[in-house]
Amino acid sequence: MLIFGLRTVAHRLGVVTLVCRNCGNAAAQVLSRRVTKFSLFFIPLFPVRTRHEMQCTFCGASYTVSKDEANRLAVR
């Protein structure tokens, strides 16, 4: 019997003040990286998918950004 699955962990990279793509307000945007890993017997083994996301603190909308854009914004 094998116990396997996927687990996603969110890492907060920073907070940037930008204009939201959804609501158009200048508000804080939380930049995060979500890593989904394959796990075997509850031990994470290797990453399956990595996404970078921004979430508006005003309206709560979340959208993906490219890795290059996330790196550029994290340096700010």
> Of 9 and 1, which is predicted with more confidence?
9
Instruction: Say what the pLDDT of residue 44 is.
Output: 92
Tens digit of pLDDT for each residue in 8-38? 999 999 999 999 999 999 999 999 999 999 9
Tens digit of pLDDT for each residue in 25-76? 999 999 999 999 999 998 999 999 999 999 999 999 999 999 999 999 887 6
CA distance linking residue 64 with residue 21, whole number of Å:
11
What DSSP element (H or E) covers 46?
A: strand 43-56
* 29-to-37, 66, 72 alpha-carbon distances in Å: 25, 15, 14
CA distance linking residue 56 with residue 13, whole number of Å:
14
* 4-to-7, 40, 48, 70 alpha-carbon distances in Å: 10, 4, 13, 31
Instruction: Say what the pLDDT of residue 1 is.
Output: 81
